[in-house]
Amino acid sequence: EIVLTQSPATLSLSPGESATLSCRASQTVSNNLAWYQQKLGQAPRLLIYTASNRDTGIPARFSGSGSGTDFTLTISSLEPEDFAVYYCHQRYYWPNTFGQGTKVEMK
Amino acid sequence: QVQLVQSGAEVKKPGASVKVSCKASGYTFTDYNFHWVRQAPGQRLEWMGWISTDNGDTKYSQKFQGRVTFTRDTSASAAYMELSSLRSEDTAVYYCARETSYSGYYYPYYWGQGTLVTVTT
C-alpha cells in the first residue's frame, strides 16, 4: 500500500501569510494526486487534481506542484476561510490512500 | 444538480453489522463510480474502497477486506456499504463520494452528508 506522509502536522500562521504543505509518497504515484480541504463538520472539498490543476471555482491563491513522490500545496496569502485541514490523496495504485492531514490553524 | 443523500445515524453493539445507503440524484447513476471513506472522531480521512456502478466491480482497502461489502442498486440509483463484526474502533462518520472525471483522471468529488455509526455496548 502507498503511504502518503504529510508535513507538518500543524501550521500556525496569520492571515496574509503563505502556507506550504508537503505530501510525500512511499512510491511514485506519477501525477495522480489530489488535494482536499476539510472544515470542521463538513465533507472534504477537492482543491487540486492531477497534482497541479485547480478545480473550478478554487481561488488562484491555491497552487499545487510536484510529481513522482514529492508534492506541495501552496496557499499564497491565507484568508480567514482557509484555516482548515488539508489532505493529499493518491489514485495511482489500489488501494487508494489519503495522507494523515495537515492542520492550518490561526496563530 | 448532483445530490448524494445518505441514511441516518446508527448505533450498534459490538459484533453487529451496519448497512449505510447513499442515494444519488441529478445525473445518470451508472456514469460515475463511488468511493467510501470514513473518519473517526477527530481523526484522518480513511479510504475504505471503491465500487463501479456499471458492473459492480469492487476494490477494498486491505484493512477492511473480509468485513466490508459494497453493493449498488442501479434501479434505485443507490450505493451501499455494509460493515460487519463491528468494534468500538469502527465508530466514525462514513461518507460516500462520487467521482468526477478530469481528462481521464477520476477523483472523489461529490460527497454525501456523512452517516455517523456509533459502536457501543
Give A72-96 pLDDT, tens digit per residue.
999 999 999 999 999 999 999 999 9
- C-alpha–C-alpha distance, residues B42 and A19, integer Å: 22
- C-alpha–C-alpha distance, residues A101 and A38, integer Å: 9
**pLDDT per residue rounded down to tens, chain B (121 residues):** 999 999 999 999 999 999 999 999 999 999 999 999 999 999 999 999 999 999 999 999 999 989 999 999 999 999 999 999 999 999 999 999 999 999 889 999 999 999 999 999 9
pLDDT of amino acid B7: 98
Contact A44 B111 (CB under 8 A): yes
Q: Nearest CA of chain B to the CA of A81: how many Å?
A: 20
Nearest to A49 among B37, B107, B113 (CB): B107
- For A1, how many CA atoms within 13 A lie in the half-sphere containing its CB? 17
Identity of the amino acid at B22: C
- Please count the other Cβ atoms lying within 10 Å of the Cβ belonging to residue A78: 19
pLDDT of amino acid B65: 87
pLDDT of amino acid A18: 98
pLDDT of amino acid A71: 98
Contact B45 A87 (CB under 8 A): yes
pLDDT of amino acid B103: 87
